[in-house]
Structure 1
């Protein structure tokens, strides 16, 4: 699992930064301690990211349903990898676990 920083803004927007990518998206509360978020994570132009099926990846669309437990958010959903021509080249299940930092 790659290290990342995600910032959930009060207006429902979010940003994510990894060593290989940056992304933006949105989030919403769906119930007591439950949330959903969706983001597009674009690979940095200096990174050649190859999908498991051998194609060059340009970005990932990630959709997650998660639960908050104290300072931890954990959830699962789907990640769809797109090539530079916007064609879907790979899809897989996605899991995340994050903890709040000050």
Structure 2
């Protein structure tokens, strides 16, 4: 699992940063301890990201349903990787585990 920083804004927007990508998206509360979020994460231009099936990846679309317990957020969903021409390269299950930082 890659390290990342995600910022959930009060207006329902979010941003994510990794060593090789940046992205934006949105989130919404769906229950007392549940939320859903969706984002598009674009690979940095200086990163050549090659998919497991050998194609160059340009961005990834991620949709997650998550639960929070105190300062921990865990979730599952789908990730769909797209090439530079927007064609879907492949899809996979996605999981996340995050901790709140001050």
TM-score grouping bracket, smaller chain normalisation: over 0.9
Q: C-alpha separation between the residues in 2 aligned to 1:90 and 1:99?
A: 28
Q: Structure 2 length normalisation: TM-score?
A: 1.00
Secondary structure of the residue aligned to 1:31 is coil
Q: Tell me which residue corresponds to 1:29.
A: 29
User: Aligned-pair distance for 1:80?
Assistant: 0.1
Which contiguous aligned blocks of 4+ residues in structure 1 show a shift greater than 4 angstroms? Answer: none
RMSD (CA atoms): 0.2
Q: Which runs of 5+ in 1 are unaligned?
A: none
Q: Structure 1 length normalisation: TM-score?
A: 1.00
Q: Does 1:64 find its partner at 2:64?
A: yes
1:24-49 deviation digits (Å, cap 9, x = unpaired)? 00000000110000000000000000
Secondary structure of the residue aligned to 1:63 is strand
Q: Tell me which residue corresponds to 2:81.
A: 81
1:9-66 deviation digits (Å, cap 9, x = unpaired)? 0000000000000000000000011000000000000000000000000000000000
Q: Provide the aligned length of Structure 1 versus Structure 2.
A: 102
